[in-house]
Amino acid sequence: MRRVLLLNITYEPLTTVGMHRAVCLVLGEKADVLHSDVSGIELRSETVRLAIPSVIRLRRYIRVPHRSRVPLTRAALMRRDNYLCAYCGTKADTIDHVIPRSRGGPHAWENCVASCTRCNHRKADRLIEELGWTLARDPAVPHGPHWRLIGAINDGDPQWVAYLAESSAA
Ligand SMILES: [Zn+2]
């Protein structure tokens, strides 16, 4: 069940891989171990001893094809909006569709914002123009590999944090 963070040779996080695949990459000399698991547990075979990897880095550059849109998830949306309500700026605890779904608004990055429950209830099925509300900024699709790894930072090893920092997120 343990996952290993896979970095490009540039240290850009690419994805997480299962332990078996990670070990194959390392033993196949396609990747090097940057950090071993803090548990210190070793994998042993007759010929090999290898500390369980936590972060591995590819030896060759992998060009990442521009994949489709970053999937819209609650965690990623909250992160994009800094956990703040798009309407009043207080702590957000729900997702609001700017154009309500009942009025044809899509469930898409461009139509979703983090919202507090109060604003969400007050807004109900109305448009912001009808309420005289404004948005500080237009909701947009986030870009960058880090957005695909949202959640990994919480699920993974603390050693991953440095590589998943937001500094290079678009
Ligand atoms: Zn609010």
Ligand 1 centroid to Cα of residue 142, in Å, is: 22
At 168, the pLDDT band (50, 70, 90 cuts) reads very low
DSSP state of 26: H
Q: pLDDT tens for residues 79-90?
A: 899 999 999 999
Average confidence (pLDDT) over 62-82? 81
Of residues 143 and 119, more confidence is placed in 119
Encode burial over 89-106: b for 16+ CB neighbours within 10 A, e otherwise.
eeebebbbbbeeeeeebe
At 154, the pLDDT band (50, 70, 90 cuts) reads low
pTM of the prediction? Answer: 0.60
Ligand 1 centroid to Cα of residue 139, in Å, is: 15
Ligand 1 centroid to Cα of residue 79, in Å, is: 16
